[in-house]
Structure formats: structure tokens, C-alpha cells
């Protein structure tokens, strides 16, 4: 464990906000967590790769950063409904392992399931909290269970995928267990046989006429991401800033009368999911810039820091976007990013 005071966080958040925290604790082993009960009794925030966080000011508390990694493999057979066995592989991955390392490991070991999530920044421990997703896949589709500690009792937990109450960019860790647990490991069940999800239109079109492979799908996903999203080493951002809003059938029909080209997808429960990026673009924000803060020209879902934007400038942009979309569509956008 390493502890520092008045610690600068600019290198620990992909927005590049130049803020500090009162205390920064780097956790080098999951075994250290049960010994840290006193820290969890004070204001604290668990910060992984900082790719889904907007710091708005000095953080007068303790930042807890998991720096322990590792990927363990365990193969086993699972029974099918026909009574036969199908092969699968379980990976137990430490919370501090970079997500990119995990997707690269899967490619190197020919494990299928996470290839559509290639290129997402951050650490593995954050994946179940957000139920990260991209190009037709959500991480819940591959999560077997999640391990960690309840921070009020320091007792270990092991939650199954069902226990995690996964939803669209949502989980139990954002609700009942928000601020009450520290994830240490995530278990993934993956397939050693080819198994692809090619429901995302642009991905399917890019692979049309070719037999998909693990490498070709992953490389195509990366190409699509890079064509739409900024390089976070050059332009600060937190990826998609807003969730895609969900409306009922009546509101969707009313919106279609006004905007016939409106993109929407059924959610399976009688609701329709709108494309937040399209709403933002129609509200006139795509590519708009105010000082060093603005909306990325290639993807309206992404708020960016062009260099030296202050937190209040980023906040002004996202609040104005919410207000303008609300005025035009009577739809309220919700940030996907944690605003601290």
C-alpha cells in the first residue's frame, strides 16, 4: 500500500482534469483491503482507470486505486439442456488489470466473447459496475461472478451474474451496493469455440463477405472505434458521456411524427431506445466548441477536453446539452459518466 497526500489526479482521469485529492491510496494487493476499515469510514472514492469519471473540483477525501492485476485460467465443461457437455473457460481476473490486457489475452488464447469490447479503456474491476458494452455486446453476457469485500463489515462476497442485477449501463453496484463494496476479482466464462455477435450494423457491414475470426472482429471493432472516438492520449474525454434514453411507444410515435429519420431500437419490454448522439446532433451540438470544452466532431456522444478545459467548462457543456435536447425532444439525457 502506498499513501500520498494532496495528490494530483490529472494522470488518473482520462478527461485530464487538473484536480487534486486530499489523500491517494494505491492498493497493491487484494489482501490489503480487509485491513483498511478505517479508510472506508471516511469519504472515499474507488478510482480505476479514470475513464468514466469527471472530477469537478478538489476531492476532499481518499481516492482508493486498485493496482493489483493478474489473469488466472480454469477450464471446465458445462452441461447443456440435452445432457451433453460443452467446453468453456473460466478466467478469474484481478480488478486492477487493464481491460486492454484482458481482451489481448483472450485473442492470444483464442477465447471468444469479449472481442466486441476491444479498445474500451479502464480497469477490469470497473466493468461490472458500469456493465460496459459496445457493438452489440454487454460484459454481463460473459460475467460468471464478482468477488470483493463489503466495506462496512470487511466480509468477503461472491455475487453471481444474476445477483448483480445487470441492466443497460447499470448494476447492483450503482444502487443497493453503491459505496458499500470493493470489487477485487471478476470471473468471466468464455468460449474456446468461435462464437461471434455481429448484430451491430457497421460491424456486420465491415465484415460482409469474409469469414469472421477473433482477430478480424477485434481489429474491425478497433477501426470503428478509432473512426468515431478521440485518442485519449491526445484529447481528454470519458468516452460516451450520455446514456441512450429510453421512451415508451407513445412518445416514440409522437417523436417520429416530428422527426421521421429518428433512430430507435426496441428494448424487448415494450420501450424504445433512442440514439442519444443523434438527439445531440439535431440539437446543434455536434462539433460545437466553447473554449477548450466541446462535443467531438465525429461522435456527438463524446464531450472532450481539447487541452486545458476546467471542470466547470465541461460541466457547462453537458448541462447545456441536456437542456437543449430536453427543449427540442422532451427527452432528458442522463450522464453515463460518474460526476464527482
- Which residues form the catalytic set? 169, 240, 336
Cell of residue 271, nine digits: 420501450
Other Cβ atoms closer than 10 A to 338: 17
- Residue ranges of alpha helices (H) inside 181-213 are 201-207
Instruction: Report the sign of the C-alpha dihedral through residues 141, 143, 144, 146, in that order.
Output: negative
d(CA 135, CA 107): 17
Query: Quick one: which of 236, 206, 240, 210 has its CA closest to 224?
Result: 206
Integer angstrom CA distances of residue 166 from 14, 32, 132, 137, 199 = 25, 28, 10, 13, 20
Residues sharing a CB contact under 8 Å with residue 261, sequence separation 6 or more, in sequence order:
none
Amino acid at each position: 500500500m502506498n499513501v500520498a497526500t494532496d495528490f494530483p489526479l490529472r494522470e488518473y482521469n482520462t478527461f485530464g482534469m487538473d484536480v487534486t485529492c486530499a489523500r491517494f491510496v494505491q492498493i497493491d494487493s487484494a489482501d490489503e483491503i480487509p485491513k483498511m476499515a478505517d479508510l472506508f469510514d471516511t469519504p472515499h472514492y474507488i478510482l480505476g482507470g479514470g475513464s468514466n469519471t469527471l472530477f469537478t473540483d478538489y476531492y476532499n477525501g481518499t481516492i482508493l486505486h486498485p493496482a493489483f492485476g493478474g489473469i488466472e485460467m480454469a477450464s471446465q465443461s458445462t452441461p447443456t439442456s440435452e445432457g451433453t457437455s460443452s467446453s468453456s473457460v473460466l478466467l478469474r481476473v484481478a480488478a486492477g488489470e487493464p481491460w486492454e490486457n484482458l481482451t489481448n489475452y483472450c485473442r492470444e488464447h483464442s477465447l471468444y466473447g469479449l472481442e466486441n469490447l476491444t479498445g474500451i479503456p479502464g480497469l477490469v474491476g470497473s466493468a461490472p459496475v458500469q456493465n460496459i458494452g459496445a457493438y452489440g455486446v454487454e460484459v454481463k453476457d460473459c460475467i460468471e461472478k464478482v468477488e470483493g469485500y463489503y466495506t462496512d463489515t470487511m466480509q468477503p462476497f461472491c455475487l453471481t451474474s444474476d445477483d448483480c442485477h445487470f441492466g443497460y449501463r447499470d448494476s447492483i453496484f450503482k444502487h443497493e451496493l453503491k459505496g458499500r463494496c470493493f470489487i477485487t476479482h471478476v470471473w468471466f466464462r468464455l468460449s474456446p469455440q468461435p462464437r461471434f455477435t455481429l448484430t451491430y450494423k457497421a460491424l456486420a457491414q465491415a465484415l460482409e463477405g469474409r469469414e469472421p475470426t477473433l482477430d478480424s472482429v477485434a481489429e474491425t471493432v478497433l477501426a470503428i472505434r478509432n473512426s468515431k472516438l478521440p485518442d485519449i492520449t491526445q484529447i481528454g474525454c470519458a468516452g460516451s458521456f450520455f446514456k441512450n434514453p429510453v421512451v415508451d411507444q407513445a412518445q416514440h410515435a409522437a417523436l417520429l411524427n416530428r422527426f421521421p429519420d429518428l433512430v430507435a431500437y426496441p428494448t424487448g419490454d415494450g420501450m424504445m431506445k433512442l440514439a442519444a448522439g443523434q438527439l445531440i446532433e439535431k440539437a446543434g451540438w455536434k462539433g460545437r466548441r466553447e473554449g477548450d470544452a466541446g462535443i467531438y466532431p465525429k461522435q456527438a456522444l463524446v464531450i472532450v477536453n481539447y487541452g486545458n478545459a476546467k471542470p466547470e467548462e465541461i460541466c457547462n457543456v453537458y448541462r447545456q446539452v441536456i437542456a437543449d435536447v430536453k427543449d427540442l425532444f422532451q427527452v432528458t439525457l442522463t450522464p453515463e459518466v460518474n460526476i464527482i
